[in-house]
Amino acid sequence: MEVIVAKHAGVCFGVKRAIDMAFRAARKYRDHVYTIGPLIHNPQVVEQLKEVGVTVQGGIDDIAGGTVIFRSHGVPFRLAQRAREKGLRIVDATCPFVKRAQKFARSLSRKGYLVILVGDESHPEVKGLKSYVEGEAIVVGTPKELGHWAGGKKVGVVAQTTQSLENFREIVALCLEKAGEIRAYNTICDATALRQKEALDLAHKVDCMIVIGGHNSANTKRLAEICRRILGDTYHVERVEELKPPWFRRKGRIGVVGGASTPSWVIEEITEGIHRTVSQG
């Protein structure tokens, strides 16, 4: 049996940066270091951070003082404002690509564009993006959702950084029919596109695919979906204990990919776990 790990399986630039910043903040400020919601969508990293003193809080009002770390997906505009008003020390770990998208969403709305956000309405990144729009904003997940939209004169389009390019393109093309002017920023992160392409290529070559990442990670879930279209034997796992011997029976090659928020040590641990499970199974 052979286990093939995708080349870009580990954390992306923005997530790595956020983790580094959080550990540094924990070392430097020691007590009263908080995030609002998990720093990234990976429970193992969040647990490690807890061990060094970074506590997850539900909202800004749960924090009386100390240091607040803004998560990699970004925080809503008002939350950042409240943190400043409260005099908290701010460590801004927002991914620079997300910050860029926030900036475009804001500047489009200030210039009078109706803003269309291509993404998942319930995702923290999209909630954050929406909060930067000063005027009207619509969140659209699929081209279908634009069906009943009446259109507008000036329309600006920004994508969640982890969207697929195909979906973004289809939505922009549809907008063109109903708008006099379209201004679209391609805010999709290259790392996402690269990871999806690699996972797809690997799924074609193997007999079983293990997609590693938090069960709450949207980009990991999307990776698993993409692989499952090619290969039914695709499993999304967060921890090594979730591996099941029957998955690997009579399988020659096993592919491994990780979401953008999955640290390499988790991928190594699970890859070793696969070898162990196979030899035991």
Query: Looking at 31-39, 163-171, 205-213, 260-268, which segment touches a copy of itself (CB under 8 A)?
Result: 163-171
Under the binding rule (CB under 8 A), the answer on residue 147 touching a copy of itself is: no
Task: Report the alpha-carbon distance of residue 50 to residue 79 in Å, rounded.
Answer: 22
170 in contact with a copy of itself (CB under 8 A):
yes
**Does 52 engage in binding with a copy of itself (CB under 8 A)?**
no
- Which residues are part of the catalytic machinery? 125
Shortest Cβ 204–a copy of itself spacing (Å) = 22
State how far the alpha carbon of 224 is from the alpha carbons of 99, 248, 250, in Å.
27, 17, 21
Cβ pair 257, 212 in contact under 8 A: yes
Cβ-contact 72, 35 below 8 angstroms: no
Helix (H) or strand (E) holding 254: strand 253-258
Q: How far is the CB of 104 from a copy of itself (least distance, A)?
A: 8
Q: Which residues between 104 and 123 bind a copy of itself (CB under 8 A)?
A: none
- Residue 184 is a binding residue for a copy of itself (CB under 8 A): yes
The interface with a copy of itself within residues 186-245 (CB under 8 A) comprises 186
Measured CA to CA, the distance from residue 2 to residue 199 in angstroms comes to 16
Q: Which stretch binds a copy of itself (CB under 8 A): 5-13, 45-53, 171-179, 254-262?
A: 171-179
Among 31, 176, 215, 244, binds a copy of itself (CB under 8 A): 176
Q: Site for a copy of itself (CB under 8 A): which residue of 110, 165, 249, 275?
A: 165
Q: Determine if 91 is a binding residue for a copy of itself (CB under 8 A).
A: no
Which residue, among 213, 215, 203, has the nearest Cα to 254 in the 3D structure? 203
Q: Should residue 59 be labelled a site residue for a copy of itself when binding is judged by CB under 8 A?
A: no
Q: Taking the CA of residue 238 as centre, how many other CA atoms within 13 Å lie in the half-sphere pointing to its CB? A: 12
SS3 123: coil
Rank residues 24 and 153 by Cβ distance to a copy of itself and give the closer one. 153
**Closest Cα partner for 143 from 118, 112, 113?**
118
Does residue 103 interact with a copy of itself by CB under 8 A?
Answer: no
Which of 155, 196, 153 has its CA nearest to residue 173? 155
Tell me how far, at minimum, the Cβ of 101 lies from a copy of itself, in Å.
12
Residue ranges in contact with a copy of itself by CB under 8 A? 165, 168-170, 172-173, 176-177, 179-186
